[in-house]
Structures are given as C-alpha cells and as structure tokens.
Structure 1
C-alpha cells in the first residue's frame, strides 16, 4: 500500500496524526457538526460524459484480482473499464473501443481470468465477456451477445448477473411489470426469458445472487408492500423455481433499492430501502437470510429533518467486518454525501456505526455507491465508488478508515 494510503488511517473515535497529515495533502477534513463523524472531501478519480455513472442500485461494478483493481463506469459513448494505477485510474483503451456505443449500465461477475458483464439499455440487455491476457497484460474483449427481450417491452430499469455452482449463468431484470430471468449453460447462449413475477409496480427491481448450491432472486413489489424471493436449485431445469417466499410484507417495507453480500458460512445480508418516508422512522431494512433460508428483518437509518438517506449497499471482509454505505441528502442545504458505516452483530441485536462522511465540492447530486460482488479480500484494497450528475467518479479505500 502506498504512503498516502497508509497515512489516511482513521481510528474509530479520534483522527490519527497520519490522517491529519493526509488531509493536508489529499483533501479537506473536518468533523460532522451533528454527530461528530469524521468528514473527508474527495477529488474525482475520473471524468466521463455521463451523469450518475455508477448507477444502478443492485449492480456491482468493481472487482479485485491478482492483476489489479478494476471498475466499469458509464459514459456517453459506452461503458468504460478503468484500472487502478500507481496514482490514477486509467481507461483501458482496447476494451473500451470494443464497447463503443454499448449500453453503459453494467453489472459484473468476475472469476479468475474472466469477467462476464451484463449491460443495461432501454429495453435491451447485452452480455459481454472479457479475459485477462498474460501476453498483453490487459483485459481483452472476446464477444457480445444480446439477450432476447419481449417485443412489447416498454421499460427495463436494471439487471444483474451471476454464476452458479454448476458454472451456469443467470441474469435477472425487471421488464415492465414482470421480474424475468435468463439462463445460459456457457455464458454466451441465452434462453428466452422466464417470468418469476408478473404483478410488480413499474418502479420495482430485482437482484440475483448465488448461494451455496442454489440461486436466489429477490425483488420488491410495492403493489403488495412486499419483498419476495424465489430459489432455483443448481442443476435442476432452468424453469424449475420455488414458490414465492415472502421475506416481509406490509407496513410500506418495499422500495426499489436492493443490494446484497454473501458470507462464507452460506448466510446472506441484503440492504433495502422501504417506502415509509416519515421523519424519525427507519428508511432502510437489513435483511439477514440464514443457511436454512429463514429471514430476519432489521429496520435502521431514520429519515430526519436534516438527513434523507437513500440507495444503500453492503459488503464485507472475508471473516471480518461488515460495511454499509449509502447516499444522504442534507435537507437543509441540499448537499449530498456518502455515509460509510460498520454493521456489528451483538448478542441479540445489530448495531450501526457511522465511520466517515465522504463529501465532494459540487453543489449537485452525488450518490449511487457501488463495490464488488465478491467480498473484500483481507490483504487488498477495499474500494467503494460513487458518482455525481456532472460525470465525476469518486473512489474511497475502506482500508483508510
């Protein structure tokens, strides 16, 4: 790790001398006035001709492997693959040239030398594969395939991709008022879509996650105020899914904000926004799925007169800390920041500790936090990313806490 990265370490209750030194050379530091949380003003790592370049809510756009740290962001002429260099993030020219004018909103599944990416456009889904070349020491674009979309499609907000234990691939997406899944035995040849739900609100979305020997699709249904799951057992017929499982229903607990992380023990944590939208009431729900498929729902993060939280994501370090991050709009001055939190399991409860507020110099919107689909590696940088509506991309390494 670089000297600057090492110099940005934060203690949980006070700022270390090294962090103060980093603030002098890297940005502007302070403490939150209301809850005494450290603040850090970040400078952009990259600029694109595309606002909110790290959207959408359930998508994971970054990954880390033995070849480096990578992220895909949207741009006006197609998605851009970036790599972390010593002091900057560099555009990967050959791959980005191959992706010219493809849809820009990406979700990534990476394993070994390969990555499969689903790209989301207006009633369009493209899956591309890239592979790291040991000759050129960079990723190379291999192919692109279009997924079959219903001809009467009117809207498609977002999509995610995963790979099961049989090395078969899955994509799920919202299409009009339906939640649909596509299946591929090799990642390239895709089935017609299969509808898992047909009664959702046009504002609802879904998320697909690989668990131990099974795949889970989770979606919101604001019409029935529900969060719902269906399970596919790896190796069974592609259209053979469980009956709908009600994760929670009622009390306006559903909204179209979903993000998940899977633990080594087979449990899964999902963070979602609800639709309560009342001051002094929780805006988010932490949903824990145990190894037997039983769910526990934990409301958190109140809407206040000053703070309006939105778009939470979650990730964790293997056998270590759980991190949550979300955007916050200051309702008094209309400025935005990213709240980074640690989630701690107590004996009979969960505790949420705000660690830092990440801020920018712009007056407009910023948010759409994203990270990796895989858990963070203990001895590697742990990047989260967000963007603003002016095309700026920001990054923060959680090791700097």
Structure 2
C-alpha cells in the first residue's frame, strides 16, 4: 500500500508540471488503484538474431494485421505468405520450409494477404486484394500426403468500393462461415452456410475512418465482430448468435471510447472457457504513455481494458498479436522500432494474470541482420497445444520470412 501511495504521489507531482496534464494520467492512476501493473521492459532482455526460413519476391510477406496465417495439425506445420505472383503455402520439412508447388500454381495471381481458418483436414482461406475478397478451400489428401486446392469463390463486393485493407474468416458452432472486412468507411460481413456460397455483404457499421479495420472471432455459440473507429475514438463490437438470421446482430457495443484509444491494430485469442483476449494499439502516441491496450472479454461479454507498453524516446511499438497455450500461458508479440538507430526488432512477451492484476514480461528480442523494417508478426488462429510447436512468424521489407518456436524460450 505504501508503494502504491508513493506511485500515486509521483504521478500527481508529474501532472503539476507543464509537460503533463492530469487528464492524461488518469487512466494510469486508475490502473494503479485497481492493482493493474503496467508493462515493464527488462533491462537485460536476451537477444536472438534469426536467419530467414524462406524468401519471396514481396516485401512484408506476413502482412496484414489482424490476420492469422499459420496452423499446426496432424499433417505438419503450415504457413501462407504473400509473393509477387500470388500467395504461397509453405510446409515445415525436417531442415527447411518448402513451397507447396501444386497449390501455389492454382493460386497464381490471386490476392496475397491471407487469413486462415483450419479444421481437421480442411482449411478455408480469405485472400484480400484492393477491392477483392476471394475464399479458397484446400483439403489434405492422405493418398498424396499434401494439401490439394479444391475451389475458389469471389465474394460480392459493393460496386462503389474504393479500397479494402484486410479481412478475417471464422466458422461458428453451427458450422457456418463468416468473413468480415473494412470496405471504404464501412464494416461489412459475408455469410455462408457451406463455406462456398456467400451472401451479399451486410453492413455492421459506417462512417468509420478510412484507416480503420475489423476482426471477426468465433466465440462459444456466437460470433463477435470488433472494429476500430478513429473518428469517434472507439473500439466497438457487435454479436451474432449462432443459428439466427444472418442479418440479426446485436446493437453496437462500446468496448472503450475516448482518450484516443482506437487505432487500426487488432488481434485476438479465445480461451477454452469462452473468454477472449484482444491486443490493440491506441492513438495516444505520447512519450511515456502506453501504446497498447490488452482487452479481456469475459464469458458474459464484459470488457476490461489494460493499457501497457509505453512509447519511449527509444522504443516505438506497433502491431501487437496475442495467443496462448491451452494450459493457460499467454504470449504477446509486437514490432519495435528503435527510434535512435532506426533498427527494428520483435518483442516477445508473457502475460501473467496475478491476484491483483496483470504482469507483462519481455522474454526475448528477435533481431535480424538487415537494416530495414521487420514486423507484421503473425501466428495461428487456434491456441497453441502444449505438446506441439508454438510458432510465430514475421517478415522484412526485402522478402525474408522468419520464425520462432516459443517452446525454445
């Protein structure tokens, strides 16, 4: 308690200076009073320099937020990356990652930004272009011992579309499929009973910022669409109950509003008990203020918002992702630009729930030998299984793709 009071006095003292207003630290004061711990960067965090696992003729091959591009199943470990002539499916072999020639030939000239929903021997992938959304299905063949391309379908896009930034796909408990995307200043969803025949888009929100994006997440007996709205400084949500009419959605739910808390960075993981963790970036962009917010949604749909990871004179963090092991361990990873030397690295962290709040611990910094950008961390949509590889991936702007198995930490 004495330590808490001491921290509180320091914050009030800072707020009295010309460089810091009380309003800007109220969220921090609230978190301290409630027992939440802010992100602490380790002074001597271990560093690991990685070599590429694959090279493509396309920069930022693991873009774009908030997409999940990898999966692990009985047949191996898989990743989809962008390339100049279309998306590429890769498989981890004994000593290297190998391109899957026949699938990739079928994908020539398709949009390259992919989000994957995998179940058993089948995967549905939504591919994102400038004003195009394609869904492809691949199925693993026990005879040929590889994935085979099944079909491609193009989703109906509004004729007045000017741009689409990203899209995500999921399947609900009724085995029906959903795609969610930003189309200009709107958030839209598409529905399919069988994964192949898609509805016309349903608008869930409009008048958002052209920079905003969305994320669709399958929860227990319901689907959640979450989006940023920088015009209203809001993170928003709408819910669809599985089995109801496709256009029957809840009224908009405010996850958080005000204080520049919204930006177009969203990534989520769903726990076995039905709770969800959402990693987001805000738009505060002030030195010594948190850049990220961890948002926890409980089984009843109540949200708790925990700011973390300060912007500092040296570190500029961006594009967080979150995933977890079914046994409970939560991992977070994001890109960091060193503002002093313009070098990038990936910060990998563990998030631990304590009795009195949350602890964020930086485990390792992943670095490369290039001088350019590293980023666009991605992982699986499904949680990590305890006895399987726990892979994260990122890429640079020269076409190199990198990977780390979190079990090695």
Shared fold (TM-score, shorter chain, > 0.5): yes
What is the aligned partner in structure 1 of residue 366 from structure 2?
358
1:294-305 equivalences under 5 Å are 294-305=302-313
What is the aligned partner in structure 2 of residue 329 from structure 1?
337
1: CA distance, partners of 2:107 / 2:163 = 23
1: CA distance, partners of 2:92 / 2:329 = 24
The DSSP-based 3-state class of the residue aligned with 1:83 is: strand
The DSSP-based 3-state class of the residue aligned with 1:94 is: helix
1: CA distance, partners of 2:98 / 2:386 = 24
1:132-151 equivalences under 5 Å are 132-151=140-159
Superimposed CA distance per residue, residues 101-133 of structure 1 (whole angstroms, 9 cap, x where no aligned partner) = 000000000000000000000100000000000
Cα distance, 1:35 vs structure 2: 1.3
The DSSP-based 3-state class of the residue aligned with 2:90 is: strand
What is the aligned partner in structure 2 of residue 349 from structure 1?
357
1:151-170 equivalences under 5 Å are 151-170=159-178
1:387-398 equivalences under 5 Å are 387-398=395-406
Give 2:76's match in structure 1, choosing from 59, 68, 79. Answer: 68
What is the aligned partner in structure 1 of residue 126 from structure 2?
118
The unaligned stretches of length 5 or more in structure 2 are 1-40
CA RMSD in angstroms, aligned pairs only: 0.8
1: CA distance, partners of 2:329 / 2:160 = 45
What is the aligned partner in structure 1 of residue 46 from structure 2?
38
Give 1:382's match in structure 2, choosing from 366, 390, 407. Answer: 390
Cα distance, 1:34 vs structure 2: 7.3
Contact 1:264/1:319 (8 A) holds in 2? no
2: CA distance, partners of 1:272 / 1:251 = 14
2: CA distance, partners of 1:227 / 1:34 = 30
Cα distance, 1:319 vs structure 2: 2.0
The DSSP-based 3-state class of the residue aligned with 1:243 is: coil
Superimposed CA distance per residue, residues 273-330 of structure 1 (whole angstroms, 9 cap, x where no aligned partner) = 0000000000000000000000000000000000000000000000221000000000
Contact 2:42/2:362 (8 A) holds in 1? no
Q: Which runs of 4+ in 1 moved over 2 A?
A: none
2: CA distance, partners of 1:122 / 1:142 = 24
2: CA distance, partners of 1:319 / 1:204 = 33
Give 1:212's match in structure 2, choosing from 220, 224, 235. Answer: 220
Q: Does the alignment pair 1:367 with 2:375? A: yes
2: CA distance, partners of 1:63 / 1:208 = 18
Q: Does the alignment pair 1:180 with 2:188? A: yes
Cα distance, 1:348 vs structure 2: 2.3
2: CA distance, partners of 1:395 / 1:345 = 27
Superimposed CA distance per residue, residues 136-177 of structure 1 (whole angstroms, 9 cap, x where no aligned partner) = 000000000000000010110000000000000000000000
Cα distance, 1:199 vs structure 2: 1.2
Q: Does the alignment pair 1:253 with 2:250? A: no
Give 1:78's match in structure 2, choosing from 75, 86, 94. Answer: 86
2: CA distance, partners of 1:326 / 1:67 = 29
Give 1:223's match in structure 2, choosing from 224, 231, 236. Answer: 231
The DSSP-based 3-state class of the residue aligned with 2:319 is: strand
2: CA distance, partners of 1:345 / 1:308 = 25
- Alignment coverage as a number of residue pairs: 369
Superimposed CA distance per residue, residues 37-89 of structure 1 (whole angstroms, 9 cap, x where no aligned partner) = 00000000000000000001110000000000000000000000000001100
The DSSP-based 3-state class of the residue aligned with 1:96 is: helix
The unaligned stretches of length 5 or more in structure 1 are 1-32
Contact 2:42/2:361 (8 A) holds in 1? no
Q: What is the TM-score of this pair, normalised by structure 2?
A: 0.90
Q: Does the alignment pair 1:95 with 2:103? A: yes
